[in-house]
Amino acid sequence: MTSRAATRGLRLRPRGWGIATRSAIVAATVVLVVHIVAGAALIALLGHFLISEVDDAAAARLHDIVSGLRSEPPNEFDSALLDTDQRIIAIQVVSDNDTVVYRSTDAPSTPLVPIGGIGKTPTQMSDNATPDNDLRIVGERVHTSSGHYTVLVAGSSEVAETTVQTVAFLLCGAAPLVITVVAMATYLLVKRSLRSVDAIRARVSDISTSDLSERVPMPESHDEIAALADTMNAMLARLEMGHNAQRQFVGDASHELRSPLTTIISALDVAQSHPELLDQDMIEQTLIPEAQRMQLLIDDLLLLARADERGLKLRREDVDLEAIAIAEADRLCRETTLAIHRDITPAHLRGDSRALLRLLRNLTDNAARHADSRIDITLSEHDGSILLAVADDGPGIPAKDRLRVFDRFVRLDSDRARSGGGTGLGLSIVAEIVAAHDGSINMTDRPGGGTAVRVQFPSGTSPDSSR
């Protein structure tokens, strides 16, 4: 009961309302405000327009009567000018002694207003007979051959006020209907639009980490919700790719670690059964090499795991690439029988010396495993870039595999044997180090046969501290 009451209380709060409800309330509020402002403006303009019509009609009749008095004698005055209608309700022609000489049918026999205070500007006053009816009176003094007269014309604002009141009543009566229709239409439209969002939410809630191949439904419309569904599907595709890569990585790592561990366990089992076989040769030729291989593999795995989690952490220092390249070339000369050809010129960049040393060593070790007789090491700097290239005269790599070799645990068919010492992680580590230094790497054919790996760094590269 407590949970149900809490849920009911939450629904009564604005924060507990759905998007459709909040949108309907906002739309209704906006329409109400607009309706009030627009209605008030309409009523004001309509009232001003109708009153202006009354004043214009009164001014026009006043002009006609004044013109008639000036052009004709009083005994020939056109009585049609005294006719009234809904707007003109009273007309008087008053002599100098305040006597009403001519008047309309319903006009009183006494002047409507004091003669001295009348003018062409409308004077507003209440009709004594009908207090709710406001008269708007205009007048003009006219000089004729038979004397001086004052013409008074009274217009009625009753029709204008009645019209304004009717329009105001209709607007007030229509407001609830308009607001209700707008709120309902907004609620239904938003609710219908959110069906696609709810379908996306339901599908996402059903997707589990064991099966990331499902995708959210794509609505037929080409609106923001369709863009959201497309973004969600793209995210799911990336998650599926990352999940598959992680599973592949774990599987490959387990497979790679199983081989040296099995060798060590087998050797120890033999030594346990036959202690006399555990001699120096077994230790130096079997146990120590396999243990070192397993240690190297674990170190590589930890490095790649850190790179995946938060990027490689690099020290920023001035690095002499020339010294590193010369040292690696000398090492190859000592440890291999290959011909080492070097074309090394001075080159400096700001980076991590240990990471760059590992990069070059991985490239040269990879080249040494594949080379038939020769390795070329090239280092040069020009046009704001540093170019480092390591090439070998081995069998080469097919063009379709030149991107794949930078993936983890990738060995081509011609290099499946583990006796060469490779773990399938060397080039992956190289790619991570190059990316951390904002560089680029590519693999091409070596002139004369073989493979060339080219690494390019911007001069003065400063590693990103966030990597």
Within a domain: residue 217? no
Residue 254 has pLDDT above 80, yes or no: no
Mean pLDDT for 264-288 is: 79
Task: Give tens-digit pLDDT for 138-178.
Answer: 888 888 877 888 888 888 888 888 889 999 999 899 889 99
Q: What is the CATH number of the domain that holds 437?
A: 3.30.565.10
Structural domain for 425, as ranges = 314-458
The contacts of residue 316 (CB under 8 Å, 6+ apart) are 350, 351, 352, 462, 463, 465
Residue 29: pLDDT band with limits 50, 70, 90: very high
* Residue, of 357 and 417, whose pLDDT is higher: 357
Residue 104: pLDDT band with limits 50, 70, 90: confident
d(CA 382, CA 380) in angstroms, rounded, equals 7
Residue 78: pLDDT band with limits 50, 70, 90: confident
Within a domain: residue 215? no
Same domain, 300 and 185: no
Residue 419 has pLDDT above 60, yes or no: no
In terms of average pLDDT, the best of 26-40, 79-93, 231-245, 294-308 is 26-40
d(CA 191, CA 320) in angstroms, rounded, equals 65
Same domain, 320 and 433: yes
Q: Which of 220-234, 261-275, 377-391, 398-412 has the lowest mean pLDDT?
A: 398-412
Residue 136 has pLDDT above 60, yes or no: yes
Closest to 14 in 3D by CA, of 32, 28, 26: 26
Same domain, 183 and 41: yes
Residue 77: pLDDT band with limits 50, 70, 90: confident
Same domain, 429 and 318: yes
Task: Please tell me the number of Cα atoms within 13 Å of 261 on its side-chain side.
Answer: 9
d(CA 417, CA 420) in angstroms, rounded, equals 7
Same domain, 250 and 198: no
d(CA 27, CA 19) in angstroms, rounded, equals 12
**Which pLDDT does position 143 carry in this prediction?**
85
Structure tokens at 416: 């499946």
**Which pLDDT does position 414 carry in this prediction?**
45
Q: What is the CATH number of the domain that holds 125?
A: 3.30.450.20
Residue 1 has pLDDT above 50, yes or no: no
Within a domain: residue 255? yes
Task: Give tens-digit pLDDT for 339-355.
Answer: 999 999 999 888 888 88
Same domain, 373 and 244: no
* Residue, of 228 and 8, whose pLDDT is higher: 228
Residue 119: pLDDT band with limits 50, 70, 90: low
Q: Which of 7-21, 62-76, 172-186 has the lowest mean pLDDT?
A: 7-21
Same domain, 375 and 411: yes
Within a domain: residue 295? yes
Same domain, 134 and 200: yes
Residue 230 has pLDDT above 60, yes or no: yes
Mean pLDDT for 200-211 is: 75
Last residue of a domain, one of 279, 306, 333: 306
Last residue of a domain, one of 306, 340, 358: 306
Integer-rounded Cα Rg, in Å, for the chain is 50
Residue with tokens 């004052």: 150
Same domain, 153 and 75: yes
Residue 462: pLDDT band with limits 50, 70, 90: very low
Task: Give tens-digit pLDDT for 290-348.
Answer: 787 777 777 777 777 776 666 667 778 888 999 999 999 999 999 899 999 999 999 98
Residue 131 has pLDDT above 60, yes or no: no
3-state helix/strand/coil string of the chain? CHHHHHHHHHHHCHHHCCHHHHHHHHHHHHHHHHHHHHHHHHHHHHHHHHHHHHHHHHHHHHHHHHHHHHHCCHHHCCHHHHCCCCCEEEEEEEECCCCEEEECCCCCCCCCCCHHHCCCCCEEEECCCCCCCEEEEEEEEEEECCEEEEEEEEEECHHHHHHHHHHHHHHHHHHHHHHHHHHHHHHHHHHHHHHHHHHHHHHHHHCECCECCCCCCCCCCCCHHHHHHHHHHHHHHHHHHHHHHHHHHHHHHHHHHHHHHHHHHHHHHHHHHCHHHCCHHHHHHHHHHHHHHHHHHHHHHHHHHHHHHHCCCCCCEEEEHHHHHHHHHHHHHHHCCCEEEEEECCCEEEECHHHHHHHHHHHHHHHHHHCCCEEEEEEEEECCEEEEEEEECCCCCCHHHCCHHHCCCCCCHHHCCHHHCCCCCHHHHHHHHHHHCCCEEEEEECCCCCEEEEEEEECCCCCCCCC
Give me the number of domains the chain comprises: 3
Same domain, 23 and 113: yes
Task: Please tell me the number of Cα atoms within 13 Å of 461 on its side-chain side.
Answer: 30
Same domain, 52 and 127: yes
Within a domain: residue 466? no
Within a domain: residue 191? yes
Within a domain: residue 397? yes
Last residue of a domain, one of 306, 327, 357: 306
Within a domain: residue 211? no
Q: What is the CATH number of the domain that holds 265?
A: 1.10.287.130
Same domain, 267 and 349: no
Closest to 204 in 3D by CA, of 233, 161, 178, 226: 233
**Which pLDDT does position 391 carry in this prediction?**
93
**Which pLDDT does position 322 carry in this prediction?**
92
Q: For residue 315, how far is the Cα from the chain centroid?
A: 36
- pTM for the predicted model, two decimal places: 0.48
